[in-house]
Amino acid sequence: MFSKILEEVNSLLVKKNTDYNSSYDQLRERFGPVSFLIRMHDKLNRVEQLTKTDAQVKDESIIDTLEDIIGYATLELKFREDRKECK
């Protein structure tokens, strides 16, 4: 089950990273580690909003948002690995 989920997230991440021209790396270079925290905050806030019964915009599902969280965590891991950041 884990492999199936991660394969789907990987496919989505590759597509989005191509569409957005690796914008996470640019963001991370410019603003540092806080970039990751901001992205996580945005996504966690989105999950919170989607769980409210009175949410008006439903163009993104909780599943989509959770996959984005995995994606951003993966991008951060890759960024750190590419730059040999172990902390």
d(CA 79, CA 46): 24
- What is the rounded average pLDDT of the residues 40-53? 89
> Residue 54: pLDDT band by 50, 70, 90 thresholds?
low
Q: Kind and range of the H or E element at 50?
A: helix 34-51
> Residue 6: pLDDT band by 50, 70, 90 thresholds?
very high
Cβ neighbour number for residue 71 with a 10 Å cutoff: 20
- What is the rounded average pLDDT of the residues 40-56? 84
Q: What is the pLDDT of residues 20-39, one digit of tens each?
A: 998 999 999 999 999 999 99
SS3 of residue 32 by DSSP: coil
Which pLDDT belongs to residue 61?
A: 84
d(CA 19, CA 35): 19
Contacts of 28-36 with CB under 8 Å at 24 or more apart are 28/76, 28/79, 36/72, 36/76
Which pLDDT belongs to residue 49?
A: 85
